[in-house]
Amino acid sequence: MPERNLLVLNIARAEVGVREATGHNDGKRIEEYLAAVGLPKGHPYCAAFISWVFKKAGYDRPRTAWSPALFPAKLLVKTAAPGNVFGIYFPALKRIAHCGFVSQIKGDWIHTIEANTSLPGSREGDGVYARTRHFRTIRCYADWIGKGGVK
């Protein structure tokens, strides 16, 4: 795995276990994720977490709280790799509505680090978790590091 991908994943891994203070997208660390994209507490933060991790790694982008914005066509890749950002499509919303980092691939299973989720995998959860998802549940992957999305 390239060193830059490992740096991003190590920052994300260190956040596993962070939980909301009152279950309303709040708490010291959650509010830091949101502040990285200019939002106050109370907003969904899965994409803000991605932006915060890249910022901590020294990259100037992405900087968004809107999960669909993490998947520009020029950064999409067909195969998952550690350090990629994954997106889950929600038919009811007709868009990508949850995202996280790919940390490892084992056969048909994608190990992830994601925020604003829960053990069952909610898109409105209570913290940062390491999860395992079947590859069929994931719509797309973006390579922000290898395809030049970050600077």
Does the structure show a pLDDT above 80 at 133? yes
Per the prediction, the chain carries an average pLDDT of 95
Residue 34's alpha-carbon distances to 1, 7, 28, 30, 52, in angstroms, are: 29, 21, 10, 6, 8
Q: What pLDDT is stored for residue 118 in this prediction?
A: 93
Residue type for 100, please? G
**What 3-state class would DSSP assign to 67?**
helix
Does the structure show a pLDDT above 90 at 80? yes
84: its two tokens: 């990629």
Q: How far apart are the C-alpha atoms of 26 and 24, rounded to whole Å? A: 5
Residues 6+ apart with CB under 8 A from 103: 9, 12, 13, 82, 111, 112, 113, 130
Q: Do 66 and 47 touch, CB atoms closer than 8 A?
A: yes
Helix axes 46-56, 28-35, angle to 10 degrees: 80
Full-model pTM:
0.96
Domains and CATH numbers, the chain: 3-142 (3.90.1720.10)
**What 3-state class would DSSP assign to 150?**
coil
Average pLDDT over residues 83-90: 97
Q: What pLDDT is stored for residue 148 in this prediction?
A: 73
Q: Do 25 and 41 touch, CB atoms closer than 8 A?
A: yes
Does the structure show a pLDDT above 80 at 129? yes
